[in-house]
Amino acid sequence: MAEGGGNHGPMPLDRALDIVRRVVRPVAGTETVPLSAALGRALAEPIKAPRSLPPFDNTAVDGYAFRRADIASSPARLTLAGESAAGIPFAGTLPPGAAIRI
């Protein structure tokens, strides 16, 4: 059975805080571990790749590119402004209210 004693309604806040204080421990420091030992751990700092891969702008999946602001209201209607195919990027700037086929 769970710490709360069953499903009899919400647990009082002071009881929940007591459980958290008893179970959760602050992080006392950092350590470097191999990737194979990192499951379930938290990062102490962001990971940064030494270089981009691929080393050029690339869209990996088929779909459409558009501005988030242009679909703020739903349903939204966009015009097709062009296409960006593998090795042939879209030339120009995406106009407002438009999408590009990827």
Q: Give the whole-angstrom CA distance, residue 102 versus residue 45.
A: 34
- Summarize pLDDT for 15-70 with one digit per residue, the tens: 999 999 999 988 888 999 998 999 988 888 898 889 888 887 766 678 899 999 99
Cα gap 41→44, rounded to integer Å: 9
Give the pLDDT of residue 31: 92
pLDDT of residue 1: 43
- Tell which residue, 31, 63, 58, has the closest CA to residue 44: 31
